[in-house]
């Protein structure tokens, strides 16, 4: 018997600086249906939910007095093709939405037609740098990176092959960088 029987991710809650702009981007540009809206008591803000498929949701809080984001701390300062993607411990680095592998090349055009600055499709493989110019048998996921109006890092990702036991081959490192056996 497992400790907890997971069925997926119910929702991931992020923080928006402008809920109207967030709804315009996620519903209007990306096409995610808005499925639940909540006004928080005492004027504390709002909490909205978008359907991302398979019963999963992406949620946003809007707080009228929330501190401003700090790129490079609360989130990456860059897209992967523009500079370092490091963010602080405990931060959310990016959200990757699953898409069909046979449509991912088309989605670059869809995003750009909507005025969204995005990467070309990245072919992630098992090479030293983790990326291939070509789609090879070693490519395990293809993805596109972009940001929302608040600078939240987003990814459209398409698995290209099933993962197996050989895909778990690196030991974890502790805070000092030492391998934990």
List strand residue ranges (DSSP E) for 41-152, in order: 45-53, 56-62, 95-98, 122-124, 131-132, 141-147
- Each residue's pLDDT tens digit, 40-89: 989 899 999 999 999 899 999 999 989 888 888 988 889 999 998 888 88
**Domain 75-164 fold:** 2,3-Dihydroxybiphenyl 1,2-Dioxygenase; domain 1 (3.10.180)
**Does pLDDT of 4 surpass 80?**
no
Whether residue 179 has pLDDT greater than 90 = no
pLDDT at residue 171 greater than cutoff 90: no
pLDDT at 175: 85
**Domain parsing of the chain, residue ranges:** 1-65, 75-164
CATH topology of domain 1-65: 2,3-Dihydroxybiphenyl 1,2-Dioxygenase; domain 1 (3.10.180)
What pLDDT was estimated at residue 2?
65
End-to-end CA distance of the chain: 26
Q: Give me the pLDDT at residue 1, please.
A: 57
Q: How confident is the model at residue 3 (pLDDT cuts 50, 70, 90)?
A: confident
Given pLDDT bands bounded at 50, 70 and 90, which one contains residue 177?
confident
pLDDT in tens, 7-53: 888 899 999 999 999 999 999 999 999 999 999 989 899 999 999 99
Whose tokens are 């411990």? That residue is 89
Nearest to 12 by CA among 42, 39, 32, 28: 32
Topology alike, domains 1-65 and 75-164: yes
Q: How far apart are CA 143 and CA 23, in angstroms?
A: 23
Span 90-140, pLDDT tens digits: 888 999 999 999 999 999 999 999 999 999 999 999 888 888 999 999 999
Residue 43 Rama label (left phi>0; alpha psi -120 to 50; beta): left
Q: What is the pLDDT of residue 7?
A: 80
> What percentage of the chain carries pLDDT values higher than 70?
99
Q: What is the pLDDT of residue 33?
A: 96
């Amino acid at each position: 018997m497992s400790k907890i029987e997971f069925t997926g991710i119910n929702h991931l809650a992020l923080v928006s600086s402008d809920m109207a702009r967030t709804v315009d981007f996620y519903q209007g540009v990306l096409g995610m249906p808005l499925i639940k809206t909540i006004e928080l008591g005492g004027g504390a803000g709002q909490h909205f939910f978008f359907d991302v498929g398979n019963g999963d949701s992406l949620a946003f809080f809007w707080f009228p007095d929330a501190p401003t984001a700090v790129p490079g701390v609360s989130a990456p300062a860059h897209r992967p093709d523009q500079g370092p993607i490091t963010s602080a411990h405990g931060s959310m680095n990016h959200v990757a939405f699953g898409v069909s592998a046979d449509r991912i090349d088309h989605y670059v055009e869809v995003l750009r037609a909507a005025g969204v600055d995005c990467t070309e499709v990245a072919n992630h493989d098992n090479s030293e740098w983790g990326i291939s110019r070509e789609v090879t048998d070693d490519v395990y996921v293809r993805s596109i990176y972009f940001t929302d109006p608040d600078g939240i890092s987003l990814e459209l990702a398409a698995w290209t092959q099933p993962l197996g036991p050989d895909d778990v081959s690196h030991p974890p490192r502790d805070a000092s960088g030492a391998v934990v056996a």
